[in-house]
Each structure stands twice: as structure tokens, then as C-alpha cells.
Chain A
């Protein structure tokens, strides 16, 4: 990925590649206001040569003073971004007029938050497992296929990429599965099930009172896709949500939802009963999860930072690796576990109650509000602050 001299716009995918490859030095100029900049930033496997934050209204108020922040980088291309792409387009144009090589991130952080990158976990002999990374938010979805049938796990609000991927692979989506009632993003589960006629699966506690049809996941159930057996495992992890379910695929892959992440675990404090619910989470990790063998690959629903991305691009780790590196899994006693949760507790995400209502179909929101609610990075890990890279 290179930036052309005459280029004025860059797509989110192109920006992702610049950051992922790390071969083209460039400056990232973020022109959003201080609050927006502090809350959520563009991240990738490699850092830009420099990240500069100068709000766009500083360019309007005193152009010379604002441009002075960039004089040191006159030799490098500058990628300018804002919330929706309008203000950054204005600033990029003004910089080009002053002889800089500046490109605008198309549709800004909204588009960055929607970018979905597919990675191969298993490539079809005959089982296909794809991890779909929503890189801006740190959310992960999966497509698992065998025998021409597919199950999609935790799809995001815009479902077109999942439909396109199924078509490209020549498979029919027969099941859509939400590992839990999401609180950080609006689920695309029901919409994708509606669009494909697939069965929508969710753990019964999590979907209590939901105003839509679903098939409840119960202990000991299995699904068969072609030659692959998928075991559905309800895991009781209250606090993040009352219940959640994981999928053990072919005894090799555990799609772990928000119960277990590569570097952390799902936060159990959103119900206001951290002590009680934290203890239940401890028993889930010590019970069902502890019984799984070391070579099972954990495929989580979230990641907090680039340190959870493997060299091959996947956000995953074997249970054996996680048992060595994931602090939360190493804690031996309930008391140590609760202390760990207390020490790492962070603020509750802003609109999580409202997002849950949307995901239960209790609340309908228009596209503008849905986009707004869906912005920003997930805050689902119990030890996010520690795991996150600046």
C-alpha cells in the first residue's frame, strides 16, 4: 500500500493496510475535538511516524498557528481524519494548498468503525472457519462452514459483508448465533437471520423478554454442519450478561464470546453485583473452561489492543498459551480473582443499557442514532486499561 502524489482521499481499508504493513511512513492528523480524540483513536499493528491532534476549529480560528504543528512533517504524507469526514476534508484541502501531501479518510471514524477484515482460521478440509475483525471497535465475528452450510457468530449491525462472504464461499447461512446479549454494539444477528431465513440462536437467560423469535441454546446441544460437530456450551457469566454461550467446534476451536479473551476476561460488573457475579464467573472459568484441553484454540468476541493480534493476523490463542499469559486465568482463589476484578474495574460504557434494549427489540432507533450508539471502541474486558495500547 502506497500513497500516490495526486491522491486526495484514502479508504478505511487503505488506512488499515498502511498501519498493518508499516512500510510507508506517514503522519496521522486527527482533527476531532479533545473529547472525541481522548475517547477513541485509530490503531493498527504499526504506529504511524507521528500522530498529531489539532482540532479542525483551530485551523478555522488561526490557520497559520494550526499549520505550524505540522511543519516538522512537511516531507511525509499526512492522513487527516475526523468523525464523519467533512472537517478532515476541509483541513486536507487547506494543507494541500500549502504544499503538503494530505489525504482525507473517507467518511471518517464512522467508516473506520465499520471496517471488517476477514482472516482464515481453518481453510476448508472440509471445515472453513473465518474470523471477521471489526478493527476500529475491536469486535470479532465468525463464519463457520462445512458441507455447504454456514453458521455466523456475533455478526455486526451491517450484515452485507456476511452475505457477500457466504456467497463467495458458495455456502448457505443456516444458523446465526449471538454468544450473548451484546452491550457494546448493535447486533446484526436478527437482521441476518431475517435476510437468510436462518435459525437465530441465543442463550435463554440472555434473551429473556426479547421481542423476536429465537431458538434457546441449552446445555448439551449439538449442531452438525457437514462433517463437523459443533457443541453449544452455555457458560454462566453473569454481570457481563446473565448467561452466555460458547461454541466448541470439532473439539478444536472454542468461540468464547465475552467469557474469555486472549489477554483478559469479560467484565462482570455491569449488573452492579460485581462480588456475587464475579464469583460465578470464577467458577465458570475454573469449571467448564478448565476442563478443556491445552490445544483448543480460543476465538474470542473482542480484543482490546494490537498486542492481542498474532503475527498471522488472528486474534486467538490456544488455551495452553492463555493459561500461561492471561492474568485472569492464573488466579487460583476466588479472593484473588475478586481482588483482580476490583483493581481493574473501569467506567461502564456510555450507552450499554440502551444498546441492550435495541438488541432485545425493546427499543427501535433510527439510522443516525444507531450509528451514534455503535461508535467507539468496545469496553468489554475486565482489565481493558491494562491490555490496551496507547
Chain B
């Protein structure tokens, strides 16, 4: 899906709107083809990243997954910077 680098953004503990504010800023610094892996603990981020993806001109939401970290659910969003 991508040939670029994957850069991690940790927004654990951040409440909305911060996960998207920070992801937007982080994407600005990436090169086309790079992927931003956003790790959030806010459940609301799942639908919000999907909603943001509809208007996001700079990146594509390529994958979302849920994982458990020592009993805490984390929501991981993968955004690939467009050319």
C-alpha cells in the first residue's frame, strides 16, 4: 500500500479535538507516501477519523484497528500522505 516511512504519533490520553489537531500537524511534516500511525485511547476517535477522512485532502485513512494494551483499549489509525 505504501513504500514510504511509517511515523508514530502517540495521542494516548488526549481527548478530542487533540488527536485530530495533532495528526493534522504531524501530516504537514511528512513526505508523500509516508504513513502516520496514530495511537489513541479516545474511542470517539474511530468515527471522527473516518469523518475527517472525507474532507481530508492531504492524506488517506488506509486502516483502523483496535488493540488491547494491558487492559486498556487503544485505537490505531493509519493515514498515508497523498502525493
Contact = CB atoms under 8 A, between A and B. Distances in A.
B82 to A, nearest CB: 13
A82 B16 CA distance: 10
A390 B44 CA distance: 25
Interface in B3-42: 15-18, 20-21, 24
Taking residues whose C-beta sits less than 8 angstroms from the other chain, chain B's interface range is 10 to 19
Interface in B46-83: 47-48, 50-52, 55-57
Interface in A58-79: 58, 60-62
Q: Is the interface of B mostly helix, strand, loop or mixed?
A: helix
Interface residues of A, number: 18
A61 B15 contact: no
A176 interface: no
Q: Is the interface of A mostly helix, strand, loop or mixed?
A: helix
A57 B53 CA distance: 9
A124 to B, nearest CB: 45
B74 to A, nearest CB: 15
Interface of A: 33-36, 55-58, 60-62, 82-84, 86-87, 90, 372
By Cβ-Cβ distance, the 9 closest A-B pairs, closest first, are A57-B52, A87-B17, A33-B51, A87-B16, A90-B17, A33-B47, A61-B55, A86-B15, A57-B20
Given A57-B55, A58-B52, A83-B16, 13 more contacts: A33-B47, A33-B48, A35-B47, A55-B52, A57-B48, A60-B17, A60-B21, A61-B52, A61-B57, A82-B16, A84-B15, A86-B15, A86-B18
21 contacts: A33-B50, A35-B47, A36-B47, A55-B52, A57-B17, A57-B20, A57-B52, A58-B55, A60-B17, A60-B20, A60-B52, A61-B24, A62-B55, A82-B16, A83-B16, A83-B44, A84-B16, A87-B16, A90-B17, A90-B21, A372-B43
